[in-house]
Amino acid sequence: MVFGIPFVNHVMRLIIFATAQTVVYLFLVPIILATITYRTYVAVVSKLFRPDLDSFVTGLDTSFLGNTPEESSTNVICCLVVNGNISEYRIREMFEERVIKLKDSKGDFVYKKLSQYWVRFYGYSFWKTDKSFNLSNHVRNYDYDNVITEKPTDEDKLKKAIEDILRTPWKSYQSHWELLVQYPFNRKSSSETIVPNQTLLIFR
């Protein structure tokens, strides 16, 4: 029986593909099994000897990890401008009632990670609860003017402030978020006129 060249080429491609699959399988499976085994070992050890640790840092949260707990490879900043003067005390009060203390149907805190920070343990990142968590460390008046940049009292100064804040390291042993309050803030309207007496909220 004589086979044509196209048929032979097809058979050769199948053989090469099957061989490549086998090689990849033989290399990857041991690595995957070793990784799973080590991760399980770390999880057990953390439960036994580090009860202060919560869960692994996983999913989207890993994109915010840095080389040290004070650093962050990714920062997100959102700004909101509201009319009038809203004090840090009022914002802190609302934030505590509607966010920090919010629980689900099981009685667990919905935003528990807002009172946690991450630490390294055996090569993995874990969440750890801040036992001395104080909301005033996170929701506060803008206080970087003596550190990195002047107060963002208008849009031009805000642009410069955002650039500097993005490069600012986090404080040790605190959860990585903050809500900065700046009053007064003068915003330009669509007609380029200045709208005074507004409050700027910067959430990082």
Share of the chain above pLDDT 70, in %: 85
Please name the amino acid found at residue 23. V
Give pLDDT, residue 177: 95
For residue range 59-114, list pLDDT tens digits in order: 989 888 888 877 777 889 999 999 999 999 999 999 999 999 999 999 999 999 99
What's the mean pLDDT in 168-193? 85
Rounded Cα distance between 34 and 102, Å, is 39
What's the mean pLDDT in 41-50? 94
Contact 170, 116 (CB under 8 A): no
Q: Rounded mean pLDDT of the chain?
A: 86
Contact 137, 144 (CB under 8 A): no
Give pLDDT, residue 2: 45
What's the mean pLDDT in 29-45? 89
Tracing tokens 């003017």 back to the chain, one arrives at 145
Rounded Cα distance between 88 and 142, Å, is 10
Give pLDDT, residue 18: 66
